[in-house]
């Protein structure tokens, strides 16, 4: 519901930059992009994936 979405968005705003959030939103339209990003050898993508994983863990702990 709305409260869950609001909670997740608040954590995204703290844990992810707006650029990170735009990339993460693309994963819903293109799940393969998430897999490519996760498996990339790019240092920048590895840093993003660490932030994204931290966001997910924090959202799960605080919003469920």
Per-residue pLDDT 10s for the chain (64 aa) are 899 999 999 999 999 999 999 999 999 999 999 999 999 999 999 999 999 999 999 999 999 8
Minimal CA–CA distance to 20: which of 61, 50, 40, 43? 50
Q: Residues with Cβ < 8 Å from 15, sequence gap 6 or more?
A: 51, 54, 55, 58
Q: What is the pTM of this model?
A: 0.89
């Amino acid at each position: 519901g709305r409260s869950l979405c609001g909670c997740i968005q608040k954590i995204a705003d703290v844990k992810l930059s707006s650029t990170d959030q735009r990339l993460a939103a693309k994963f819903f339209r293109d799940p393969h992009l998430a897999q490519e990003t996760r498996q990339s050898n790019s240092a920048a993508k590895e840093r993003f994936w660490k932030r994204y994983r931290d966001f997910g863990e924090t959202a799960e702990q605080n919003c469920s």
